[in-house]
Amino acid sequence: MANESVISLDHPEIKLDVKLEIKSEAGPEANPPLNNDAYEEIHSKSPLFYDLYERKSELKNQTHYCPGCGHGVVHKLIAEALQELGLQDKTIFVSPVGCSVFAYYYFDVGNVQAAHGRASATATAIKRSCPDKIVISYQGDGDLAAIGTAEIVHAANRGEKIAVFFVNNGIYGMTGGQMAPTTLVGEKSTTSPWGRRPSNEGFPLHMAELLATLEAPAYIERVALSDNKNIMKTRRAIRKALEIQRDGAGFSFVEILSPCPTIWGKDPVVARRWIGEKMIPNFPLNVFRDHRPEPPAIKENQPPQRPVGDVLGITPKPGAHDTSKSKHAHRFKDVKIKIAGFGGQGVLLLGQLLIEMGMREGLEVSWLPSYGPEMRSGSAHCHVCLSKERIGSPLISHPDVLVAMNEYSLRKFAHEVVSGGVILYNGASVPADFSAPEVQVVAIPASEIADKLGSTKVANIVLMGALLEETECLAPGTALSVLEDKVKKLDLLEIDRKAITAGRLFIDEQAHIGAVSQPDGFA
Ligand SMILES: Cc1ncc(C[n+]2csc(CCOP(=O)(O)OP(=O)(O)O)c2C)c(N)n1
Ligand code: SF4
């Protein structure tokens, strides 16, 4: 049975009738509704994947990868291996920048997304902080072999106990087909339109061979997604890399030659075949390393097994003000403080003193300074977090307290302060045209007070005193003991003591507006 219809295309340059024939073996009554029970499921999704791809509402049941893309196959193999080895709950997956940037939308494991090229460095940090976790660094060839060359070489050279899955499709997929370090000689790309020429672009980088020159790696293999047999070998290699990490043996690297049908301009079947015909002869499949490194024969110096406080010399001296058992009541869950001013005003130092105090009072602390030219005669700022719980990020977007050591910082950062928060401003009065309706602004002539005390340098300490009095976040006694340990010049220490007191007194006696109470009890 066939139905016909004609579509007329009418345009000044094109006049065309297109005949459409819709063929069907039987009438519509012969198309019963789909009965899912009638089908045997032979391809299933690993339960290690999330049920839906939540990023795009219209694509929730599929991945964002192009048809025939190797990333999907590698994802599946990793998911199945983790599932089979029972490692789902222990795994932290570091996704790169590249087409696989959204891997964390698929894998139902711990996920971190690294900056471009930094996945193996990020994985290093995670593995060192959480040695019992299975840490995967998943990277493309642009990510790993171009911008991230240094990170992968040094991670491998240190023998970090991570598993690196290196998806080599010989091109930058995500950005539209620029030449990668692995692009074959003669291959055209948007940045090598006449084909890769060794005289101009160098030769393809063979990462597996390059890393195999190092002593530390435990396992290095190159595999391919060219056909089913090789996909099965890839499955075994991925599983082995994960087993090696599970057993604590060392650095594993699996390079996977993978199709990118879209950028290669080939259909998925041809693309897979092309791996076998063109890529494998240039990137031979091989196990380049499969041994667990022997511990070095030389006797290594061992770091001292002493408490960190002792090593850094920050454990309070006997007889000094005992702050280790601070009685100070922290009436907050966390306090986020931003300190800003000119370089040279002691902005960063004030932040360091606060975190030192926080540590001595048993709090979790973080300090994030601004860097670069800002530190010298430009503007400088730092973020300080004092918390009763572990701190997720040292970056503070909305501080509870802004210490603005100059007018520029007041105007620049006031809008970031949370509603009900406090601004401590180094000035005799708040500028006439400045307003921050939902925030308590206290003007303190800290520089002037410091000058009168004998050193303009201690303006930051005057503000510290004001901060302690206004927020009661830390005990003034802790501040004194930190200063006693840090300030070596006795005359300056004396001025610092007075500066703290002056800042506190100023809040108590001269500030016209009192402290605001916030829901978490932070005053
Ligand atoms: C610092 C930085 N430089 C450049 C880019 C642009 N960029 C995004 S992905 C990418 C390369 C991706 O290629 P590859 O790692 O081979 O992954 P694929 O997309 O092929 O899977 C580049 C250069 C970026 N995002 N960040
Ligand atoms: S561009 Fe290439 S690597 Fe990226 S999703 Fe498409 S096929 Fe995969």
- Determine if ligand 1 sits within 6 Å of the CB of residue 174: yes
Place of tokens 């007075």: 498
- Determine if ligand 1 sits within 6 Å of the CB of residue 155: no
- Determine if ligand 2 sits within 6 Å of the CB of residue 522: no
Residue 175 CA to ligand 1 centre (angstroms): 6
The token duo for 430 is 């708040």
Measured distance CA(276)–CA(282) in Å, rounded? 10
Residue 469 in contact with residue 298, Cβ under 8 Å? no
- Determine if ligand 1 sits within 6 Å of the CB of residue 169: yes
Q: Whose CA is nearest to atom 3 of ligand 1?
A: 116
Residue 253 in contact with residue 319, Cβ under 8 Å? no
Cβ contacts of residue 321 below 8 Å, gap of 6+?
A: 477, 478, 480, 481, 484
- Amino acid type, 43: H
- Determine if ligand 1 sits within 6 Å of the CB of residue 70: no
* Ligand with the closest atom to the CA of 259: 2
pLDDT, tens digit only, all 523 positions of the chain? 456 666 666 666 666 666 665 554 444 454 555 555 655 666 778 999 999 888 776 677 788 999 999 999 999 999 999 999 999 999 999 999 999 999 999 999 999 999 999 999 999 999 999 999 999 999 999 999 999 999 999 999 999 999 999 999 999 999 999 999 999 999 999 999 999 999 999 999 999 999 999 999 999 999 999 999 999 999 999 999 999 999 998 999 999 999 999 999 999 999 999 999 999 999 999 999 998 777 667 777 777 777 777 777 766 565 544 445 566 778 788 999 999 998 788 999 999 999 999 999 999 999 999 865 555 556 789 999 999 998 989 999 999 999 999 999 999 999 999 999 999 999 999 999 998 989 999 999 999 999 999 999 999 999 999 999 999 999 999 999 999 999 988 999 999 999 999 999 998 876 544 433 333 333 3
Q: Which of 442, 491, 433 is nearest to 465 (CA)?
A: 442
Q: Whose CA is nearest to atom 8 of ligand 1?
A: 98
For the chain, report the end-to-end CA distance as a whole number of angstroms.
81
Measured distance CA(314)–CA(61) in Å, rounded? 55
In sequence order, what are the beta bridge partners of 192?
189
Cβ contacts of residue 504 below 8 Å, gap of 6+?
A: 465, 466, 468, 469, 476
- Amino acid type, 16: L
- Determine if ligand 1 sits within 6 Å of the CB of residue 141: yes
DSSP states of 344-363 as a string?
Answer: TSSHHHHHHHHHHHHHHTT-
Phi first, then psi: what are they for 293, rounded to 5°?
-60, 140
Q: Whose CA is nearest to atom 9 of ligand 1?
A: 98
Candidate from 59, 63, 174 with most ligand 2 atoms within 8 A of CB, to mutate: 174
Q: Whose CA is nearest to atom 8 of ligand 2?
A: 69
Q: Whose CA is nearest to atom 5 of ligand 2?
A: 65
* Angle in degrees, 0-180, between the axes of helices 459-471 and 490-505, rounded to the nearest 10: 40
- Determine if ligand 1 sits within 6 Å of the CB of residue 97: yes
Atom of ligand 2 nearest to the CA of 167: 3
Residue 160 CA to ligand 2 centre (angstroms): 29
Q: What b-and-e string marks burial along 89-123, b requiring 16 or more CB atoms within 10 Å of the CB?
A: ebbbbbbbbbbbbbbbbbbbbbbbebebbbbbbbb
- Determine if ligand 2 sits within 6 Å of the CB of residue 171: no
DSSP states of 21-65 as a string?
Answer: EEE-SS-GGG-PPP-GGGS---S---TTB-SS-TT-GGGTTS-SS
CA distances from 29 to 3, 26, 33, 183, 462 (A): 15, 8, 10, 54, 87
- Determine if ligand 2 sits within 6 Å of the CB of residue 177: no
Q: Is 209 exposed, middle or buried (0-12, 13-18, 19+ CB in 10 A)?
A: middle
Q: Which of 54, 68, 131, 61 is nearest to 99 (CA)?
A: 68
- Determine if ligand 2 sits within 6 Å of the CB of residue 262: yes
- Determine if ligand 2 sits within 6 Å of the CB of residue 263: yes
Measured distance CA(142)–CA(161) in Å, rounded? 23
* Ligand with the closest atom to the CA of 69: 2
Measured distance CA(150)–CA(100) in Å, rounded? 21
